[in-house]
């Protein structure tokens, strides 16, 4: 697999939530290799903004050679991206990072996304061929991408303001709705529904703000649930050279020879037990 | 035929384009984008006698026309480096410059001695990192300390020694002369300028280290000026760097007096920058009928 830097054509762009944009680009060489959980470095046209913006891949259309990026305006660079229209070009480098692991068909996957961590979970929802529950955490009733998960997964929503679904965060929704078996193996099910004899072994795949990931890591460790987390950090090179975007690891990493891994190259997806959050 | 070769302390480079320490790892990551055989030299990320974990994150911030970094010289230590990174670079037809960092004079000497038997062409001694509490810049802001550490390193070094100078000083010529007095074979400049960025919404420093080293195109005029001053103050060859992103930038440094140049932050926004600069210098020489790149060195006075 090789990383490709290219100028891609913008197919279309839509605002799909408050300051949240959906950008489809034509990038055949990257789309052919990309997998869920990887990201692109996106370069601004304004030369005063030097560094590429790392943006996760939301959807991959391998037939059309297209990629979808869903991002939130966080500053001048992403504001520039939000102005792109069909026919414009954008320079990108990718696919970067490792992506999520393959999951066996007999597992029950919990795709957990918080805020702007939701987009990379959509491609996973489309690709995984197993029992799937998406737990999506939003600030309020602006439920961007929620309907797009529905064909692929059971969708559970948490909102910070309580306007839709569980009031609180994704973990509150998991607890309140008894989605993941407790330590004794019991699922809390709606009255009248038969308890499954042997629920499929759960796997948590998550992307979102660090406090959410930290809570999920503790939750998964307590219940001995397999858990993979997609991390985020300020990056410079995006390819593993500059050592800006490190995360702490429990053990000594082979590359760094210290307790640091590179999120851009060794991640962004890590087995939860491997990283210290 | 044009001749792009330059010589630094007896080491002949096929062209004057090198990488800047800390922006290029040991070349492996960028070998996916550029042919390392095309480069005059690869300058590695700084290596110490033992592994260093570096600073907490966030370690980088973008600023207008540049960036701040406070990586804190994270490195795997000389043992892993010598076993893994040097053999990787030996596969290529380019010169190897190992950047050496330390907290104490003994740390630097330890690394330099370990490298004595390694197939390394030049040593670059980092006495100018603004992001570590001990060592680094502490050696680079006092001319007596510069001269002393240079002399100590030279006593133990088998390869020629480049002293990498800090721009965070009142008079760069004083530091250049101090390195020369200590017996340096060459000097390189500029390292990053100490900067700071504050997030007004969170009312916090953006970098966990509070301050960071500024690099990128915005610092280039300062770097050109300092290279010009240093090159005219000492007889040593000068390796110029600071904001080089294009061949035109690199040629500016050569004209100011640099014998070679290093490309740093540009790698982050253009992973092919180094080789594009090599090619751009060749085109410039052809355009102006310059047979030997050495004609450009210090040509503007």
Mean pLDDT of B97-101: 97
Mean pLDDT of B90-110: 96
Residues of A in contact with B269 (CB under 8 A): 43, 50-52
B124 vs A40: CA distance, rounded Å: 34
Report the DSSP beta bridge partners of residue B244: none
DSSP A188: P
Mean pLDDT of B267-293: 97
Which of the following is catalytic: B41, B43, B98, B129?
A: B129
Residue B67 included in any domain: yes
Whether residue A183 sits in one domain with residue A123: yes
| Count of domains forming chain A | 2
The number of helices, as runs of H, and strands, as runs of E, in chain B is 9, 16
- Which of A96, A118, A145 lies at the terminal end of a domain, its last residue? A96
Which residues, other chains included, contact A13 with Cβ-Cβ below 8 Å and sequence gap of 6+? Answer: A21, A22, A23, A24, A82, A84, A85, A86
Predicted TM-score (pTM) of this structure: 0.93
B292 vs A89: CA distance, rounded Å: 40
Mean pLDDT of A66-79: 97
Residue A259 included in any domain: no
Residue B280 included in any domain: yes
Residue B300 included in any domain: no
Q: Which residue has the tokens 């050679």?
A: A65
Whether residue A202 sits in one domain with residue A117: yes
The CATH number of the domain holding residue B55 is 3.20.20.70
Which residues, other chains included, contact B291 with Cβ-Cβ below 8 Å and sequence gap of 6+? Answer: B1, B2, B3, B285
Q: Is A37 on the interface with B (CB under 8 A)?
A: no
Whether residue A92 sits in one domain with residue A196: no
Q: How far is CA B271 from CA A49, A133, B157, in A?
A: 16, 40, 33
Q: Is B183 on the interface with A (CB under 8 A)?
A: no
* pLDDT of A172 strictly over 70: yes
Mean pLDDT of chain B: 96
Residue A77 included in any domain: yes
Whether residue A169 sits in one domain with residue A219: yes
Residue B61 included in any domain: yes
| Count of domains forming chain B | 1
Whether residue A116 sits in one domain with residue A81: no
- Which of A230, A247, A272 lies at the terminal end of a domain, its last residue? A230
Structure-derived torsion over alpha carbons of residues B163, B166, B167, B172, reported in degrees to the nearest 10: -50
Listed by number, the residues of chain A in 62-121 with a beta carbon closer than 8 Å to a beta carbon of chain B are 77, 93
Whether residue A91 sits in one domain with residue A47: yes
Residue A120 included in any domain: yes
Residue A187 C-alpha from the chain's centroid: 26
> Are the C-beta atoms of residues B39 and B281 closer than 8 Å to each other?
no
* pLDDT of A192 strictly over 70: no
pLDDT at B16: 98
Residue A162 included in any domain: yes
Residues of B in contact with A2 (CB under 8 A): 32
Residue A235 included in any domain: no
Token couple for B269: 């926004």
DSSP B146: H
ipTM confidence score: 0.93
Whether residue A120 sits in one domain with residue A22: no
pLDDT band at A179 (very low <50, low <70, confident <90, very high): confident
Whether residue A118 sits in one domain with residue A53: no
Residue A74 included in any domain: yes
B21 vs B26: CA distance, rounded Å: 9
Please tell me which of the candidates A47, A93, A236 has its beta carbon nearest to residue B60. Answer: A236
What is the β-pairing status of strands B95-100 and B122-126? parallel
Q: Mutation target for A interface from B269, B272, B275, B276: give the one with most A CBs within 10 A.
A: B269
Q: Is B23 on the interface with A (CB under 8 A)?
A: yes
Q: Mutation target for A interface from B25, B50, B220: give the one with most A CBs within 10 A.
A: B25
Residue A130 included in any domain: yes
* pLDDT of A190 strictly over 90: no
Listed range (A186-190, B34-38, B79-83, B187-191) with the worst mean pLDDT:
A186-190
* pLDDT of A121 strictly over 90: yes
Residues of B in contact with A50 (CB under 8 A): 62, 65-67, 216-217, 265, 268-269
* pLDDT of A165 strictly over 90: yes
> Are the C-beta atoms of residues B285 and B293 closer than 8 Å to each other?
yes
Please tell me which of the candidates B25, B53, B64 has its beta carbon nearest to residue A260. Answer: B53
> Are the C-beta atoms of residues B66 and B60 closer than 8 Å to each other?
no
Closest C-alpha among B33, B105, B202 to residue A94:
B33
Mean pLDDT of B156-184: 97
Nearest CA in chain A to B70: A244
- For chain B, how many residues are written? 301
* pLDDT of A66 strictly over 80: yes
Interval A14-25: pLDDT, tens: 999 999 999 999
Mean pLDDT of chain A: 93
The CATH number of the domain holding residue A152 is 3.40.50.80
Whether residue A86 sits in one domain with residue A157: no
Share of chain B above pLDDT 70, in %: 98
Q: Is B273 on the interface with A (CB under 8 A)?
A: no
Mean pLDDT of A53-63: 97
pLDDT band at A178 (very low <50, low <70, confident <90, very high): confident
Mean pLDDT of A29-43: 97
Q: Is A45 on the interface with B (CB under 8 A)?
A: no
pLDDT band at B90 (very low <50, low <70, confident <90, very high): very high
Residues of B in contact with A251 (CB under 8 A): none
Mean pLDDT of A201-224: 95
> Are the C-beta atoms of residues B150 and B128 closer than 8 Å to each other?
no
Which residues, other chains included, contact B217 with Cβ-Cβ below 8 Å and sequence gap of 6+? Answer: A47, A50, B65, B66, B243, B245, B249, B265, B266
> Are the C-beta atoms of residues B167 and B201 closer than 8 Å to each other?
no
> Are the C-beta atoms of residues B228 and B256 closer than 8 Å to each other?
yes
Total Cβ atoms within 10 A of residue A225? 18
pLDDT band at A194 (very low <50, low <70, confident <90, very high): low
pLDDT band at B219 (very low <50, low <70, confident <90, very high): very high
Interval B254-276: pLDDT, tens: 999 999 999 999 999 999 999 99
CA distance A5 to chain B (A): 9
Question: Which structural domain, as residue segments, surrounds residue A45?
Answer: 4-96
B129 is catalytic: yes
pLDDT band at A197 (very low <50, low <70, confident <90, very high): low
Mean pLDDT of A181-198: 54
pLDDT at A39: 98
Please tell me which of the candidates A51, A239, A247 has its beta carbon nearest to residue B29. Answer: A239
pLDDT at A181: 65
User: Coil, strand, or helix at residue B164?
Assistant: strand
Which residues, other chains included, contact A162 with Cβ-Cβ below 8 Å and sequence gap of 6+? Answer: A168
Residue B35 included in any domain: yes
Mean pLDDT of B89-112: 96
- Which of A62, A96, A130 lies at the terminal end of a domain, its last residue? A96
Question: Which structural domain, as residue segments, surrounds residue B261?
Answer: 6-295
What is the β-pairing status of strands B186-189 and B161-164? parallel
pLDDT band at B138 (very low <50, low <70, confident <90, very high): confident
Q: Is A275 on the interface with B (CB under 8 A)?
A: no
Listed range (A130-139, B130-139, B185-194, B239-248) with the worst mean pLDDT:
B130-139
Q: How far is CA B144 from CA B139, B172, B174, in A?
A: 9, 14, 10
Whether residue A206 sits in one domain with residue A137: yes
pLDDT at B239: 98
Contact A50 B80 (CB under 8 A): no
* pLDDT of B133 strictly over 90: no
| H or E element, residue B215 | strand B211-215
Q: Most confidently modeled of A105-109, A248-252, B38-42?
A: B38-42
Whether residue A195 sits in one domain with residue A87: no
B220 vs B249: CA distance, rounded Å: 8
Residue B301 included in any domain: no
A96 vs A90: CA distance, rounded Å: 17
Residue A65 included in any domain: yes
Please tell me which of the candidates B32, B61, B267 has its beta carbon nearest to residue A3. Answer: B32
Closest C-alpha among A127, A119, A109 to residue A144:
A119
Q: Considering only residues A199 and B105, tell me which one the structure prediction assigns the higher pLDDT.
A: B105
> Are the C-beta atoms of residues A199 and A188 closer than 8 Å to each other?
no
Residue B1 included in any domain: no
Whether residue A141 sits in one domain with residue A83: no
């Amino acid at each position: 697999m090789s990383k490709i830097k290219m100028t891609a054509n913008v197919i279309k762009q839509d605002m799909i939530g408050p300051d949240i944009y959906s950008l489809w680009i034509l990038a055949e060489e990257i789309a052919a290799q990309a997998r869920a959980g990887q990201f692109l470095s996106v370069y601004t046209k304004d030369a005063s903004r030097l560094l590429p913006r790392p943006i996760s891949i939301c959807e991959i259309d391998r037939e059309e050679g297209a990629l979808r990026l869903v991002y939130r305006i966080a500053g001048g660079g992403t504001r520039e991206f939000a102005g792109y229209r069909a026919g414009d070009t954008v320079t990108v480098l990718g696919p970067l990072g490792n992506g999520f692991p393959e999951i066996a068909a007999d597992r029950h996957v919990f795709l957990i996304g918080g805020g702007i961590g939701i987009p990379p979970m959509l491609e996973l929802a489309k690709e995984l061929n197993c029992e799937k529950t998406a737990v999506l955490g939003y600030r309020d009733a602006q439920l961007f991408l929620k309907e797009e998960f529905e064909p692929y997964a059971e969708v559970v929503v948490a909102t910070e303001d309580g306007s839709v679904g569980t009031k609180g965060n994704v973990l509150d929704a998991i607890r309140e709705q008894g989605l993941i078996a407790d330590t004794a193996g019991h699922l809390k099910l709606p009255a009248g529904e038969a308890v499954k004899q042997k629920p499929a072994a759960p796997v948590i795949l998550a992307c979102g703000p660090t406090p959410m990931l930290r809570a999920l890591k503790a939750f998964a460790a307590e219940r001995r649930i397999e858990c993979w987390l997609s991390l985020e950090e300020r990056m410079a090179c995006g390819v593993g050279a500059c050592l800006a975007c490190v995360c702490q690891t429990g053990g000594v990493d082979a590359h760094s020879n210290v307790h640091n891994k590179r999120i851009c190259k060794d991640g962004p997806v890590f087995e939860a037990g491997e990283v210290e959050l | 035929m044009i001749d792009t070769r330059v010589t630094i302390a007896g080491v002949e480079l096929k062209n004057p384009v090198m990488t800047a320490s800390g922006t290029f790892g040991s070349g492996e990551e960028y070998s996916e984008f550029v042919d390392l055989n095309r480069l005059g030299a690869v300058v590695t990320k700084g290596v110490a006698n033992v592994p260093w974990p570096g600073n907490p994150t966030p370690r980088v911030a973008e600023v207008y026309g540049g960036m701040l970094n406070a990586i804190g010289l994270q490195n795997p230590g000389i043992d892993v480096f010598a076993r893994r990174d040097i053999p990787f670079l030996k596969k290529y037809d380019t010169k190897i410059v190992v950047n050496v960092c330390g907290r104490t004079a003994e740390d630097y000497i330890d690394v330099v001695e370990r490298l004595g038997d390694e197939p390394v062409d030049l040593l670059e001694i980092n006495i100018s990192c603004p992001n570590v509490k001990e060592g680094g810049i502490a050696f680079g802001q006092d001319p007596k300390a510069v001269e002393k550490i240079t002399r100590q390193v030279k006593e133990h070094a088998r390869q020629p020694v480049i002293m990498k100078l800090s721009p965070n000083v009142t008079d760069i010529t004083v530091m250049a002369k101090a390195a020369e007095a200590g017996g340096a074979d060459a000097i390189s400049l500029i390292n990053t300028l100490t900067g700071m960025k504050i997030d007004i919404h969170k009312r916090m420093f953006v970098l966990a280290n509070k301050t960071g080293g500024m690099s990128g195109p915005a610092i280039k005029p300062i770097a050109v000026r300092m290279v010009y001053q240093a090159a005219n103050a000492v007889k040593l060859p000068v390796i110029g760097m600071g904001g080089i992103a294009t061949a035109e930038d690199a040629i500016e440094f050569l004209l100011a007096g640099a014998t070679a140049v290093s490309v740093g932050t540009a790698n982050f926004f253009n992973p092919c920058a180094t080789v594009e600069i090599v090619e751009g210098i060749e085109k410039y020489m052809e355009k102006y009928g310059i047979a030997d790149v050495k004609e450009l060195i210090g040509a503007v006075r």
